[in-house]
Structure 1
Amino acid sequence: MNRKQWNGVWLAGLALAVGVGGGYGLAYQRMNGVAASAPAPSTEPKALYWYDPMYPQQKFDKPGKSPFMDMQLVPRYASGEEGSATVSIDPGLSQNLGLRVAPVSRGAFTSSLDVSGVLGFNERDVAVIQARTNGFVERVYARAPGDVLTAGTALADILVPEWTAAQSEFLALRRSGDADLIAAARQRLRLTGMPASLIAQVERSGKVQSELTVTSPLGGVLQALDVRAGMTVASGETLARVNGLNSVWLAVAVPESQTGSVAVGQAVEARLPAFPGRVFNGTVSAILPDTNPDSRTLRVRVELTNADGRLRPGMTAQVRLNRSTGQDSLSVPSEAVIRTGKRALVMLVEDAGHYRPVEVRLGQESDGRTVILEGLAEGQSVVTSGQFLLDSEASLKGIVAEPLESGGNVSGSQP
């Protein structure tokens, strides 16, 4: 090998050594660079659970696809305690969103129920006029069903032939002066059906009175008059029927869901279109045992006095039933309550601009306020306008109201 060939071999070996050494150095530098630039451990907060925004009440332990919708589950991160998760609204936007709040107040709760009713006759104030004995109708006075009568109004004259002999015997014994015989004869007249007023008239006049004038025993409306001149009547036959008007019944239809607040003796105010501006006061006299299967209402009977006779059956009335519980109760405006069908919620006001849904148990509702039996405490505030917007936002964020059974606040105690 000459000198020129040797130099070529030496240069090739040197180049190979430099290349291997350079490659090793470059690889070492790259490895060190990767190790030096490795990212720090992740600081992403730990998810409490995953949920489907369309079904936020269902929680999942792992991420994945929703079994309800074609979408990925969304993580819910811890922001303090799970139960204290709230919806945040910039206080400056509250007015623009129309949010209004009201306090949870305590006081005597007076319930009132507005219903409608129809006037009817007082069926306890009825007179049924019957024939006391067999006879013939001699005369019928000018009366007709529907006439308003006063007590003692004459209806018909009835001829009773069998009374003639009994009265003649009584007058004969009366002239004898025997007190025992006179008493026995008077008793016989009573047994034949002769009224005491007619017996007194016979004694007073000393003449036989064979005709009986049938009169109305009370003032009211003539409901039926079943006699005509010349007809024969038998003992016990109904001749007429009269309904009194000193008091009337007001039949009220109360919804089945409201009957728990109605009691006998409860005060009632009735207003009739026929007498604008006038209030008729009465009381609940009876709660009838049957319920209308079509309207799901219960019939309540109210008795109204009718001294001037202006109230007539068939008139309609707007009725208000008032009742005070006599106990202090927590209540909120009824518009603050969100009814989901399964439970009732309110949006509770936390710090400024923070709200959270709270489940409540409801009591009576009247005049725009609802009693809260469980779930809130006195002094708290709830949203009365815009609460549905906040509830929707809470649902989208997976904020679910804690059920009452698992630690909900009892009304009257601080949370």
Structure 2
Amino acid sequence: MKLDAKNAARWSAGIMAIVLVAGAGGFWLGRSGAPDVGEKARTERKVLYWYDPMVPAEHYDNPNSLSSMGMKTVPKYADEEKAGGTTPGVKVDPSARQNLGMRVVAAEVGSLPSSLTVTGTIDFNQRNVAVIQARAGGFVTRVYGRAPGDVIVAGAPIADLQLPEWGGAQGEFLAVRRLGRPDLTAAARQRLRLLGMSDALITQVERSERTKGTITITSPISGVIQTLDARAGVAMSAGQTLAQVSGIDTVWLNAAVPQAQASAVRVGQHASVSLSAFPGQLFGGRIIAILPIAQAESRTLTVRIELPNRGGALRPGMFATVALGDGGQPGLLVPTEAVIRTGARNLVILTLADGRYRPAEVRLGREGGGKTEVLAGLAAGEKVVASGQFLLDSEASLSGIPARPIGSAQ
């Protein structure tokens, strides 16, 4: 009986060993015979092509290919293409967007503020000039203490001239008038007018019945005496200039605009002028002319601005700073910081509806006040990235995502 017990124990141990070996073998066979689900899914993914992320535009059909950069290529799977949707774009995790501090703004129609700031110099209004001449030959009998640079008002006397020719003609007119012949009197009066006498002077002679051969020359406008040739005792011939007076009711500001920004100015455009002589005070004017000749030395155009000169505060020779506005012309505007300038083209990063981002090529116009005008490539209401766009542009380039062409904007 004891032997039978020992045999039974041995048999039981042998059976347990066989069971353990069989279980381990089955487990090993199951591991080796049944394929892994993840591995199977990976092996069944369809490869579109192989490429180098550094050169995404190059596609290869061989996994052992080397790119033009000498780097080993990686596969591009079909399911990755589908995950991106029909429109290509860069997908960014919301937490990553927050960490990058991305800021999105919408393109909107508006007007630029001051788009150009230049400098210039105050000058006389050359269209408001009075040239005072002698209407007949004579002598200067008196001057009124005038000198070049003096500021005078309209009607201020310049000099007294003795005109023998006028005195003789006035005596003949009075003699004919005494004859009582209206026709001859009218002819004599017309002769006085042709000699340059005013109707007021003729009436004065007619009423006083005395000749007036000495007349006082006055200034027809208020302004500054530029030249003065009248001196006591000087003989003056007919048509000789006695003085030249420039008006100061309005002045010109000649501003130098770089030729590269010539398209930003036009006749009629508003200008805001500031001078160091009047801190905190602005003078308003408008462009009245853009001179047709550019300065070869400075490569600038001269823009002429007319300014009202109340009280004569603006004096020729003063240096001024000019801010030229855009004239109220509306345009599609985006923040200037949202524009990526590559040298060959200009880009903005669009925000797509499904949370992806894609570069878009744009054509730019004017700038001012932190805004840039978009002439083409973007529609009003489309959202662009104004902060963190350079990282998105780099990711799009590495992923081979093309920029939206200009003609594709809605």
* TM-score normalised by length of structure 2: 0.76
The aligned counterpart of 1:276 is 279
Matched, 1:299 2:302: yes
Matched, 1:323 2:327: yes
State whether residues 111 and 364 of structure 1, in contact with CA within 8 Å, keep that contact through their aligned partners in structure 2.
no
Distance 1:229 1:61, change over 3 A: farther
1:358 and 1:84 map into 2 onto residues whose CA distance is: 12
Task: Tell me the percent identity.
Answer: 48
Match of 1:165, SS state, is helix
The aligned counterpart of 1:132 is 135
1:319 and 1:239 map into 2 onto residues whose CA distance is: 40
Cα distance, 1:344 vs. partner? 0.9
Distance 1:164 1:404, change over 3 A: closer
The aligned counterpart of 1:345 is 347
2:50 and 2:224 map into 1 onto residues whose CA distance is: 77
User: Which amino acid in 2 is paired with 1:319?
Assistant: A
Which one is further off, 188-197 or 129-138? 188-197
1:154 and 1:274 map into 2 onto residues whose CA distance is: 33
Which one is further off, 81-90 or 136-145? 81-90
1:245 and 1:115 map into 2 onto residues whose CA distance is: 25
The aligned counterpart of 1:234 is 237
Distance 1:49 1:174, change over 3 A: farther
User: Which amino acid in 1 is paired with 2:185?
Assistant: I
Match of 2:254, SS state, is strand
Cα distance, 1:234 vs. partner? 1.8
User: Which amino acid in 2 is paired with 1:176?
Assistant: L
1:199 and 1:226 map into 2 onto residues whose CA distance is: 27
Pick aligned residue for 1:188 from 181, 184, 191: 191
The aligned counterpart of 1:80 is 81
Cα distance, 1:150 vs. partner? 0.2
The aligned counterpart of 1:286 is 289
User: Which amino acid in 2 is paired with 1:202?
Assistant: V
State whether residues 87 and 390 of structure 1, in contact with CA within 8 Å, keep that contact through their aligned partners in structure 2.
yes
Give 5+ residue unaligned stretches, structure 2.
1-32
Pick aligned residue for 1:243 from 239, 246, 250: 246
Give 5+ residue unaligned stretches, structure 1.
1-35
User: Which amino acid in 1 is paired with 2:117?
Assistant: V
Match of 1:299, SS state, is strand
1:110 and 1:390 map into 2 onto residues whose CA distance is: 28
Q: Map 1:26-41 to 2 at 5 A.
A: none
1:75 and 1:178 map into 2 onto residues whose CA distance is: 119
2:89 and 2:310 map into 1 onto residues whose CA distance is: 63
Match of 1:362, SS state, is strand
User: Which amino acid in 2 is paired with 1:243?
Assistant: S
1:42 and 1:294 map into 2 onto residues whose CA distance is: 71
State whether residues 118 and 250 of structure 1, in contact with CA within 8 Å, keep that contact through their aligned partners in structure 2.
yes
Q: Map 1:111-190 to 2 at 5 A.
A: 112-116=114-118, 117-190=120-193
The aligned counterpart of 2:227 is 224
1:154 and 1:97 map into 2 onto residues whose CA distance is: 77
Which one is further off, 195-204 or 333-342? 195-204
User: Which amino acid in 1 is paired with 2:153?
Assistant: T
Which one is further off, 255-264 or 137-146? 255-264
Q: Number of residue pairs matched?
A: 366
Cα distance, 1:177 vs. partner? 3.3
State whether residues 272 and 318 of structure 1, in contact with CA within 8 Å, keep that contact through their aligned partners in structure 2.
no
Distance 1:118 1:73, change over 3 A: farther
The aligned counterpart of 1:91 is 94
The aligned counterpart of 1:383 is 385
User: Which amino acid in 2 is paired with 1:217?
Assistant: P
User: Which amino acid in 1 is paired with 2:76?
Assistant: Y
1:330 and 1:241 map into 2 onto residues whose CA distance is: 52
1:366 and 1:175 map into 2 onto residues whose CA distance is: 78
1:74 and 1:160 map into 2 onto residues whose CA distance is: 105
Q: Map 1:100-115 to 2 at 5 A.
A: 100-105=103-108, 107-110=109-112, 112-115=114-117
Cα distance, 1:127 vs. partner? 0.8
Distance 1:191 1:375, change over 3 A: closer
User: Which amino acid in 1 is paired with 2:122?
Assistant: L
The aligned counterpart of 2:374 is 372
Cα distance, 1:111 vs. partner? 5.3
2:387 and 2:180 map into 1 onto residues whose CA distance is: 95
User: Which amino acid in 2 is paired with 1:362?
Assistant: L
Cα distance, 1:343 vs. partner? 1.3
The aligned counterpart of 1:309 is 312
Match of 1:298, SS state, is strand
Match of 1:324, SS state, is coil
2:294 and 2:215 map into 1 onto residues whose CA distance is: 47
Match of 1:265, SS state, is coil
**1:107-143 C-alpha deviation (Å, 9 max, x unpaired):** 3435542323333222221111122122222233222
* TM-score normalised by length of structure 1: 0.75
Cα distance, 1:345 vs. partner? 0.4
Match of 1:80, SS state, is helix
1:397 and 1:50 map into 2 onto residues whose CA distance is: 10
User: Which amino acid in 1 is paired with 2:236?
Assistant: V
Cα distance, 1:295 vs. partner? 4.2
